[in-house]
Amino acid sequence: MWLLAFFLSLNCQALTVSVLDQKGATLFEAETRSTGATVGAITIDVLEQYEVPYTGGVYGITSMFGHGQDLEVISDTEMKAFGWCFRVDGRTPMTLANETPVPPRVGRIEWFYAYARYVSGTWSQPCLTSP
Give the CB-side neighbour count of residue 11, counting CA atoms within 13 A: 5
CB atoms within 10 A of CB 85: 21
Using alpha carbons, select from 56, 68, 77, 83 the residue that is nearest to residue 122.
Answer: 77
Rounded distance, CA 60 to CA 62, Å?
7
Q: What pLDDT does residue 35 have?
A: 74
Q: For residue 57, is it within any domain?
A: yes
Q: Give the pLDDT confidence of 93-118 residue by residue, as tens digits.
A: 989 999 999 988 889 999 999 999 99
Q: For residue 124, is it within any domain?
A: no
- Predicted confidence (pLDDT) at residue 88 exceeds the cutoff of 50: yes
pTM of the model: 0.84
Q: What pLDDT does residue 39 have?
A: 96
Mean pLDDT estimate for the chain: 87
Q: For residue 119, is it within any domain?
A: no
- Give the structural domain span for 14: 2-67+85-112
Q: For residue 76, is it within any domain?
A: no
CATH number of the domain at 108, please. 2.170.130.30
Domain count, the chain: 1
For the chain, count helices (H), then strands (E).
Answer: 2, 9
Q: For residue 13, is it within any domain?
A: yes
